[in-house]
Amino acid sequence: MSSFEQGGPAVPAATSPGPAPAWASHRAPSADRPDRVTVAVYAADPVLRLGVVQQLRQRPEIDLLADADAERAEVSLVVVDHVDDDVAALLHRLRHNTATRTGLVVATLGSGSLQRVIECGVAAVLRRAEADQDQLLRLVLAIANGEGVLPGDLLGKLLSHVGSLQRSALDPRGLSLSTLTTREADMLRMVSEGLDTAEIARKTSYSERTVKNILHEVITRLQLRNRAHAVGYALRNGLI
């Protein structure tokens, strides 16, 4: 993978022939539609970037932002082969941008890297091999709605990895099983199983609004980024 630009969220495309810039976001030509989800696409490989951009620019629900506007995107998609230190640095930077939520489209991701990206605040993960137009749209809309997306087998890897850690090694704030109520823990378990808000509501007989409020309370109280981060944090600390 080529080296990455870290000075800003995107680098304008070159005006003369030559290699594409490391990280860049693109805008689909369209009229202003404030009801659409604003998206910035980041990729080191211009071919990967172009593939995702071409898929998303066909969807009326999506507004692809120009480089100069990438910092205000509701959703940032990072498209890579694998997670290395440069990718992690970008994810950390995006995590501190309160305007955006981040999704990762990746070719390969091991259990250790999965936990790493979740701790970087990544809200959702999609395999590149599965990243067709419908799956990309689903990913973007879920992230914009504050939900997480994680392939089932990657969740299994995360569970196996977390299960190998000592449950007694809680963080310095002294977290314990009592940090979550039974209802909160049950809902986080369902999130970890891939259930969305509507499915959790049906399974628990709560309204979707109540489910969102409960999960939002957990995320806010534990100072986490999103649902995927909450699941990873709770698993790592033995809370579910």
Band the pLDDT of 153: cuts 50, 70, 90: low
- pLDDT score of 112: 66
The model's confidence at residue 154, banded by pLDDT at 50, 70 and 90, is low
- Three-state secondary structure along the chain? CCCCCCCCCCCCCCCCCCCCCCCCCCCCCCCCCCCCEEEEEEECCHHHHHHHHHHHCCCCCEEECCHHHHHHCCEEEEEECCCCHHHHHHHHHHHCCCCCEEEEEECCCCHHHHHHHHHCCEEEEEEHHHCCHHHHHHHHHHHHCCCCECCHHHHHHHHHHHHCCCCCCCCCCCCCHHHCCHHHHHHHHHHHCCCCHHHHHHHHCCCHHHHHHHHHHHHHHCCCCCHHHHHHHHHHCCCC
Task: Identify the top-confidence range among 23-32, 91-100, 223-232.
Answer: 91-100
Reported as a pLDDT band with limits 50, 70 and 90, residue 74 is very high
156-166: average pLDDT? 51
Q: Which of 30-39, 53-62, 113-122 has the lowest mean pLDDT?
A: 30-39
The per-residue pLDDT of the chain, averaged, comes to: 77
Q: What is the pLDDT of residue 217?
A: 87
Given a cut of 90, is residue 137 above it in pLDDT?
A: yes
pLDDT of residue 120: 86
Q: What percent of the chain clears pLDDT 70, i.e. is strictly above it?
A: 73
Which of 42-51, 106-115, 138-147 has the least mean pLDDT? 106-115
Q: Give the Å distances, CA to CA, from 233 to 112, 119, 143, 160, 225.
A: 14, 8, 18, 14, 10
Across the range 172-188, mean pLDDT stands at 67
Residue entry with tokens 């800003």:
8
On the question of pLDDT at 52 being above 90, the answer is: yes
User: What's the rounded mean pLDDT across residues 43-63?
Assistant: 92
Mean pLDDT of 20-35: 44
119 pLDDT tier (thresholds 50, 70, 90): confident
pLDDT tens digit sequence for 183-220: 888 899 999 989 999 999 999 889 999 999 999 988 88
Which pLDDT belongs to residue 111?
Answer: 63
